[in-house]
């Protein structure tokens, strides 16, 4: 199975704003990202994202893929979350993650790559995204669709519904036709650490669409204590994590409810982004 790789990157300077990634470093005008001839699918998306921590706040981030090169419509994928309690002294790195997917594509048609942040204004974020193309569907692979939501948890022991997707204020929670299960869950969840404490974060997936009732899954744990006077607090940063083979059975055309919750002691606002990968 032949594979090809295409990359775009760019900076995001405002939350809830679709920002097209148009450059490849020294290639300031690489032109449209066209699906290569002989290619049938995107089989993975590689993504890394991080902020410059120029604001004492937190964020979540995700990737949007759009355009005529995607015959089944747009797809979104969780990328990262992070925050810092002071506007100086942040220093962090975020390794790129590889998210396996099976998105059909149309050769010679364009795919638009966007980055977006939610939460609160954070200074600047850099995001780099690589699309991994293949000439055939991997053995045993099923076509995927995605559903991404994000939100902020502002108090411990409080169920918080995740109903928005940045600039898309009301993404549809209806499971698409032909879908049988949630195959993967991609998530990131951190706080800006503005309060001392520790808490565990878990995800709730429910609604009429879930055949066997609400599923509750641990996704993150956070901790913070105030630093010595005159010192800068370290940032929290989390690249997205992938749970493979979750196999949560769902009913097509029924509605999902996705929420997150933090148990323990508040560490400040927790920023959560979650992608459900359907199969």
Token match 């706040």: residue? Answer: 57
Adjacent-strand bridge partners of 223: 198
Domain that holds residue 231: 3-278
* Predicted structure pTM score: 0.95
Are residues 243 and 97 in contact, defined by beta-carbon separation less than 8 angstroms? no
pLDDT beneath 70, residues of the chain: 89, 229-231
d(CA 234, CA 2): 43
Query: Nearest CA to 60 among 15, 118, 115, 112?
Result: 118
Q: Residue 1: its pLDDT value, please?
A: 74
Which DSSP category does 250 fall into? Answer: B
Phi and psi at residue 22, in whole multiples of 5°?
-115, -15
- The rounded distance, in Å, linking the Cα atoms of 189 and 59 is 9
pLDDT on residue 230: 59
pLDDT at 141 (0 to 100)? 83
Count how many domains the chain has: 1
Judge residue 131's burial from the number of C-beta atoms within 10 Å of its C-beta, 0-12 exposed, 13-18 middle, 19 or more buried.
buried
Tens digits of residue pLDDT in 189-201: 999 888 999 999 9
Write down the pLDDT at residue 255: 98
Please say whether the beta carbons of 156 and 263 come within 8 A. Answer: yes
DSSP letters spanning 131-183: EEEESSPPTT----EEEEEEEEE-STT--EE--BBTTBSS---BPPTT--EEE
Angle at 200 between CA 216 and CA 267, to 5 degrees: 140
In angstroms, rounded to a whole number, what is the distance separating the alpha carbons of residues 274 and 246?
14
Asked whether the beta carbons of 48 and 94 are under 8 A apart, the reply is: yes
Q: What is d(CA 82, CA 238) in angstroms, rounded to the nearest whole number? A: 6
From the number of C-beta atoms within 10 Å of its C-beta (0-12, 13-18, 19+), residue 267 rates as buried
Element at 206 (helix H, strand E): strand 197-206
Residues recorded for the chain: 279
Helical (H) or strand (E) element with 7 = strand 3-12
- HSE on the CB side for 273, CA within 13 Å? 28
Bridge partners of 127, per DSSP, are 10, 49
């Amino acid at each position: 199975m032949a594979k090809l790789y295409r990359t775009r990157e760019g900076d995001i300077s405002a939350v809830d704003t679709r920002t097209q990634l148009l450059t490849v470093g020294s290639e300031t005008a690489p032109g449209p990202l066209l699906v290569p001839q002989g290619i049938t699918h995107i089989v993975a998306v590689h993504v890394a994202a991080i902020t410059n921590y120029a604001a004492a706040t937190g964020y979540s981030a995700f990737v949007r893929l759009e355009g005529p090169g995607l015959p089944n419509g747009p797809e979104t994928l969780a990328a990262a979350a992070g925050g810092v309690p002071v506007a100086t002294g942040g220093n962090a790195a975020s390794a790129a993650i590889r998210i396996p997917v099976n998105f059909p594509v149309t050769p010679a048609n364009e795919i638009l790559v966007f980055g977006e942040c939610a939460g609160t204004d954070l200074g600047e974020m850099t995001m780099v995204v690589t699309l991994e193309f293949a000439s055939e569907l991997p053995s045993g692979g099923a076509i995927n669709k995605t559903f991404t939501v994000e939100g902020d948890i502002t108090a411990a022991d409080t169920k918080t519904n995740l109903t928005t997707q940045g600039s898309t204020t009301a993404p549809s929670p209806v499971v698409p036709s032909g879908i049988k299960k949630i195959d993967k869950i991609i998530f990131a969840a951190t706080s800006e650490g503005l309060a001392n404490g520790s808490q565990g974060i878990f995800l709730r997936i429910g609604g009429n669409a879930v055949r066997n009732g609400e599923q509750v899954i641990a996704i993150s744990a956070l901790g913070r204590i105030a630093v010595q006077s005159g010192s800068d607090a370290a940032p929290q940063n989390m690249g997205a994590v992938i749970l493979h083979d979750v196999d949560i059975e769902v009913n097509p055309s029924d509605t999902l409810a996705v929420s997150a919750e933090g148990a323990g002691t508040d560490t400040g606002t927790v920023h959560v982004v979650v992608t459900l990968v359907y199969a």
